[in-house]
Amino acid sequence: MANFVGSLKKSTVQIALAGVILAVLLAFWKPHVLVEGFQRACLYAVIALPMALILGIVGIINLAHGDFMMLGAYFAYWLNVYTGLDPLLSILPALPAFFLIGMLSYRAIIRYVLGAPELNQLLLTFGLAMVLEQLANLLWTSRPIKLPLKYVSASATLGSFTFGIYEFIYVGAALLVLIGLLIFLKRTDMGQAALAVGQNPRGAKLVGIHVDRTYLFIFSLSIALVGAVGAIFMTRHSIFPLVGGAFTMKSFCLIAMAGIGNLTGILWCSLILGIAENFLLSFRGYAGWADILFFALIVLVIIVRARQRQVK
Amino acid sequence: MNRWKYLLYLVIFIVLLTLPLYTGVYLLNVVDIILIYLSLALSWDMLLRSGQISFGMAGLFGVGGYAAVLLHLNTGVHPLFSILLGGLAAGILAWLIGTAVLQLRGMYFAIVTLALAEIFRVIVRNLPDLTGGPEGTVLPSAIFSGNSTKTYWLVLAVAVISIIASEAFRRTRIHFALTSIRNDEVVAKSSGIDVFKYLVFIFGITSAIQGLTGGAYAHIYGFVSPDGSFSVDFTLLPIAMALLGGMHSTWGPVVGAVVLGGVSEFLKLKIPYGHLMVYGLIIVVAILFFPRGIVGTLGQRFKNTHRG
């Protein structure tokens, strides 16, 4: 056992060391890849974290996840058009509003397929995703929208290298959500109850935990978080009804790579992917291929996981 | 009883075969579209019977279309033959993908197929020399020079192939293998069923049907483009149709396709933006309230009245 732990630590150290060396090399060769990749990675992570929470505890794979983020983005846009509220400030109303939307979705739809076969859950959330996308299409048409905000183009210069600093907001958001969720799960009664429900709903019920209420809270919390992320997202990116779909896919890739229930792992995996994706984007003529990276990766992950299972 | 049933099938088939005699071109076009979606819905349901969900119809549909059009343009093979090759290409591609990812099933497989359309779209867009890039490729002329009667027969042939394939799968040993995989994989495995082999096989076959349909569609309209050929419509509509009609049967998706296909023509005119929302709602409502669809629910009621 001790030997096993020792070898594990050694390999972890080796991986970390290799990562640091690669990062330093990259910093000299293509510094903007490192910085932008880091920022992009944190955006992926902050979207994937709530999805991982739902999958880990409620046990539902929510194919409409990215579309809730898209709705959050339009929500911020709407507030800005009608009240002139800054999108970043609209995070505050977005949190309770999307908590409510999450509660409604759970009560009206999700609750009924909790015990159903996985097949029905996938189909249901796929249908929900389509409804949300087309609702947005109906309300705002498919025209891309972007608000002209001055502060998003803030930049800093380091020697001869200039980079955007506004995007570090994703880094802050990712760390805030990750640490917040970890503290919530480890330190609060509700979080402990949620972990217990995630491990074994029947056992949790036996010891007196209100399982349905826990599911409701976790689902609504996740939707609230991803809705608020939408508000941040729309400050920097143009939004359109189909913008969320790709993030659902990428979030699932990250969760599959990190392993279900491993929140911190999602951050590391998104770092690898975000930087790798930006590396590919930095080559002229190959940028169009960057979208395939995630797909290639998930196929690879599935093959590796299947091998591991066979060995066991 | 059985003899009457086959006679009824024969009559329906003859009516369908001679349909161009009594209808106009517009109605024939509507029926073409319904039959295209019918084939997709059936092929989707065939895979669903093994307990696996594919969201990748649009991807394989587009691959079939591109393969058929490009083969016809570059090698000069007959359009009909190129449609067959399109189906073959989609089938082989699905077989390769299935071999890679079907070791892990359920949600992993579903998500991979969800990405398929997007991936093929990216590939097609980034190979402008071969595929025409974002603008797509236009054929010099549509198949049969746009003759609507012959076009209709082509689509009808594809639909009949799908129906025959679906019935063949329901009446042979494969049906039992797939049903037992869906019900309990461990039991299936311990009864000596090679789960992995069967799943790869059925994924390949259903994808070949989707490729065939895509090839026919591409040749009928005479063009392929990244956004048109891989449109989400080709994933969303067939799923809604199969769910509305009833899963795990041949006639469910057929009924669903006929009902929804007719409705969709009307919806397109009424709500040009976002008419797809209706299909999303149908999926949600069908899963929540009547998971057995029209055919399943009516069939149950029919049985009950006969018993009572």
Per CB distance under 8 Å, which residues of B are interface residues toward A? 48, 51, 53, 55, 97, 100-101, 103-104, 106-108, 110-112, 114-115, 118-119, 122-123, 125-126, 232, 236, 239-240, 243, 271, 273-277, 279-284, 287-288, 291
Say yes or no: A140 contacts chain B, CB-CB below 8 A: no
- Asked if B291 and A120 come within 8 Å (Cβ–Cβ), the reply is yes
Provide the token pair at A111: 């609750």
Domain membership flag for residue A169 = yes
Mutation target vs B (from A55, A107, A123, A242; most B CBs, 10 A cutoff): A123
The least confident of A150-164, B108-122, B200-214, B218-232 is: A150-164
Contact B283 A137 (CB under 8 A): no
Helix intervals (H) in chain B? 2-17, 19-22, 25-48, 57-75, 79-101, 107-125, 128-131, 148-171, 173-183, 185-190, 195-221, 226-229, 233-245, 251-270, 276-289, 293-307
User: 3-class DSSP state for residue A157?
Assistant: strand
- A288 interaction partners in chain B (CB closer than 8 Å): 122, 125-126
The answer to whether B219 and B143 are in contact (CB under 8 A) is yes
| B232: closest chain A residue by CA | A130
All residues of chain B having their beta carbon less than 8 Å from the beta carbon of residue A306 are 103-104
Q: Is residue A136 part of a domain?
A: yes
Q: Is the pLDDT of residue A162 over 50?
A: yes
User: Tens digits of per-residue pLDDT, A206-260?
Assistant: 888 889 999 999 999 999 999 999 999 998 888 998 888 889 988 988 888 888 8
**CB-based contact A123 B287, cutoff 8 Å:** yes
In a domain, B176, yes or no: yes
Residue A206 lies in a domain: yes
Please give the pLDDT value at position A10.
65
- Between these two residues, B305 and B246, which has the higher pLDDT value? B246
Residue A27 pLDDT exceeds 60:
yes
Tell me which of A54, A133, A134, A284 to substitute to probe the interface with B (most B C-beta atoms closer than 10 Å): A134
Structural domain containing residue B50: 26-232
Mean pLDDT within B50-61: 91
Residues of chain A in contact with residue B103, where contact means CB-CB under 8 angstroms, are 302-303, 306, 309-310
CATH number at residue A97: 1.10.3470
Ramachandran angles phi, psi of A278, nearest 5°: -70, -30
pLDDT band for B92, please (50, 70, 90 cuts).
very high
Give A63's contacts in chain B (Cβ within 8 Å). Answer: 114
CB contact under 8 A, A299 and B100: yes
Residue contact B284–A131, C-beta within 8 A: yes
Query: Which of A121, A112, A111, A122 is CA-nearest to residue A215?
Result: A111
Q: Quick one: tokens of B246?
A: 């009833």
Interface test with A, best of B54, B55, B108 (most A CBs within 10 A): B108
Coil vs helix vs strand at B193? coil
Residues of A in contact with B57 (CB under 8 A): none
**CB of A114 within 8 A of CB of A59?**
yes
pLDDT at residue A310, rounded to an integer: 64
- pLDDT tens column, B278-300: 888 988 988 888 888 888 888 87
In angstroms, rounded to a whole number, what is the distance separating the alpha carbons of residues A101 and B104? 33
User: How far apart (Å, rounded) are the C-alpha atoms in residues B174 and B188?
Assistant: 12
Give chain B's domain count: 1
Cα A137 to Cα B40, B223, B241: the distances in Å are 25, 26, 22
Rg (alpha carbons) of chain B, rounded to whole number: 19
With respect to residue B304, please indicate whether it lies within any of the assigned structural domains: no
CA distance B295 to B298: 5
B270 pLDDT exceeds 60?
yes
Number of domain units in chain A? 1
Give pLDDT tens digits for A69-102.
Answer: 999 999 999 999 998 888 888 999 999 999 999 9
Q: What is the pLDDT of residues B136-175, one digit of tens each?
A: 888 887 778 778 888 999 999 999 999 999 988 888 888 8
Can you tell me the mean pLDDT for A27-54? 88
Quick check: is B98 in a domain? yes
Residue B51: inside a domain: yes
Question: Do the interacting molecules here have an ipTM over 0.90?
Answer: no
Interchain CB distance below 8 Å, B104 and A305: yes
CB contacts, 8 Å: B123 with chain A: 292
Contacts of B55 in chain A (CB under 8 A): 126
Residue A294 has pLDDT above 80, yes or no: no
The answer to whether residue B253 is domain-embedded is no
- Give the domain extent around A211: 31-311
Average pLDDT score over chain A: 85
Q: Which amino acid appears at position B174 of this protein?
A: I
- Which residues of chain A lie closer than 8 angstroms to B119, CB-CB? 291-292, 295
Most confident of B58-62, B265-269, B285-289: B58-62
Which positions ≥6 away from B147 have C-beta within 8 Å? Answer: none
Which pLDDT does position B96 carry in this prediction?
Answer: 93
Record: contact B108-A137, CB cut-off 8 A? no
Q: In this structure, is residue B207 part of a structural domain? A: yes
Tens digits of residue pLDDT in A120-145: 888 899 999 999 999 998 888 888 98
pLDDT exceeds 60 at position A275:
yes
Q: Taking the mean position of all CA atoms in its chain, how far away is CA B108?
A: 21
Q: Is residue A25 domain-resident? A: no
In a domain, A164, yes or no: yes
Residues of chain A numbered 196-215 and touching chain B (CB < 8 Å): none
Chain B residues within an 8 Å CB radius of A124: 283-284, 287-288
pLDDT band at A9 (very low <50, low <70, confident <90, very high): low
Tokens 């790709």: give the residue: A246
pLDDT of residue A43: 93
Flag whether A1 is in a domain.
no
